[in-house]
Amino acid sequence: MSSMLVGSDLLPSFGFVNKTPSTTTENRLVEKMGTQNLHKVFVYGTLKKGEPNHQWFSKDQTGYHKYLYNAKTTEKYPLIIGTKYNIPFLLNSPGNGTHVEGEVYEVDDKVLANLDVLEDHPNYYVRQLRDVRPLVDGDTEPSECGSISSWILEKNY
């Protein structure tokens, strides 16, 4: 389900990543990553940039995370706001609701494990592999480039 991608292998068909990064940059990434796997994670609520839980991406200084792009789910899902803290919940009910907009990050095993702790996976939220479609240049409509599988946390109910 996950893949080990380095440097120029990162999404070359979308043009979101420089196709010719320096060898030094690639070497630093490999040194930091070691044998960690990389995962794509779609976030739609408090983990987005500027939101209160975004710092969980960098909680472990040895972990790796990188913002890739904004995206929308390819299927519709109910997105509700609940609790006294106005927490967003995406419900596992494909085909109902709306195409949810969020951000896609690339993370290593350490960061993914930290996010699982925050979201109490698999008790409170359940991590599911779902397809999302990148948004290009701040557009609100998905690109024609195809969809990407990404982990999404859905409310366990």
In 28-140, DSSP assigns E strands to 38-43, 65-73, 79-82, 87-90, 101-108, 125-134
| Buried residues in 3-31 as b, exposed as e (16+ CB within 10 A) | eebebeebbeeeeebeeeeeeeeeeebee
- Identify the active-site residue in 26, 31, 75, 119: 119
106 part of the active site: no
Active site residues: 119
